[in-house]
Amino acid sequence: MSPKHLLSIDDLGRDWIEEILRLTDSFAEVSARPIPKVPALRGKNIAWLFYEDSTRTRLSFETAAKRLSADTMNFSVSSSSVNKGESLRDTCLTISAMGVDAIVVRHKSAGVPWQIAKWIDASIINAGDGWHQHPTQALLDCYTLTQKFGSLDGRHIAIVGDIKHSRVARSDIAAFTALGAEVTIVAPQTLMPPSLEGWNCKVSHDLDAVLPTVDAVYLLRMQLERQQEALVPSLREYTAGYGLTDERLEHLGANTLIMHPGPMNRGVEISQKAADDPRSAVTQQVANGVSVRMAVLFLLLGNNGSDSHPNAPRPNDQGPNEGIL
Ligand code: CP
């Protein structure tokens, strides 16, 4: 059976990640059509519950839902009764009472999507919880890497920057290594998590030593909004040590992929030139986000309980789902 929720990359494992990437291929084909719309989720209702700001994740989920013909509840926390003190639980129960098949949630506190999954019956998709997880970002990053390299087996990826506060780093490490890649995290000690026990990656503080060895360099945004104190002496010094500067760009391998989850701080973790370099996959990551989120919504909501084990027929195969796409 397909999973009911998408809360963490750790819940998926290699088989389900690969199944989502295969589904994404089908939905990328749909997205390339003159009219990119299919009836796969007609009659399903999806609500957005974003307690933190978002551009890419929210808009791409909305676009994905529309392309699948789902109905959506455009709930905006900033203009809702949350401002009158309504609790998270009561907000979820209220949305659930109106009839909802899935809630896509982003919250500054780790674990909130798990709590909501206990309170209501709908599928819950984690669109980012604190420093903890951002599973659809990791899936779109895997898809972007496989477009470039085919298999990730044996590939080496450096994730550079504010690892401590990064849900993207935590999800990406789990997803990349599940697909066979080796990951090195690179940051000053102050931007590393207090403990690296259980982290399935190598650790470095020397970006210039790591860069020549990687197939992809993944820059992270300096998350100043999550930092209670200055964790680097100055942004200029941070850039000198850990930014993808014009000088480092000159020495980067011709086939090395440059990635960033966005939003970018141009001139801090990535130079203007590096962001716009032909090796940069940043806009490709955004475009892939729509197809990946179509695949996730379809996997969770589109199979009506039919067997969707990774070996089961895919939506554009002959079989139970014939005609959906
Ligand atoms: N990568 C990402 O999550 O971007 P947003 O914060 O704009 O959604």
What are the pLDDT digits (tens) for 168-183? 999 999 999 999 999 9
Distance CA 120, CA 90 (A): 11
The count of domains in the chain is 2
Does a structural domain hold residue 1? no
**Is 80 part of a structural domain of the chain?**
yes
The domain of 129 spans 9-134+285-304
Residue located via tokens 């990551």: 285
Cα 205 to middle of ligand 1, angstroms: 26
Residue 67 identity (one-letter amino acid): R
Let me know if residue 232 belongs to a domain: yes
Q: Indicate left, alpha or beta for 263 from its phi (over 0: left) and psi (-120 to 50: alpha).
A: beta
Domain harbouring 159, CATH code = 3.40.50.1370
CB-CB neighbours of 245 under 10 Å: 18
Note the pLDDT of residue 146: 98
Q: How far is the CA of 120 from the centre of ligand 1 (A)?
A: 26
Residue 261 Cα to ligand 1 midpoint, Å, equals: 7
- Residue 262 Cα: closest atom of ligand 1: 1
Which of the residues are catalytic?
A: 56-57, 84, 106, 134
What's the CA gap between 34 and 316, in Å, rounded? Answer: 18
Give the mean pLDDT of 105-133. Answer: 97
Mind listing the pLDDT tens digit for each residue in 245-281? 999 999 999 999 999 999 999 999 999 999 999 999 9
DSSP β-bridge partners for residue 266: 270
Q: How far apart are CA 208 and CA 238, in angstroms?
A: 14
Residues 246, 175 within the same domain: yes
Average pLDDT score, the chain:
92
Q: Are residues 202 and 222 in the same domain?
A: yes
Give 233 or 279, the one with higher predicted confidence. 279
Query: Looking at ligand 1, which residue's alpha carbon is closest to its atom 4?
Result: 56
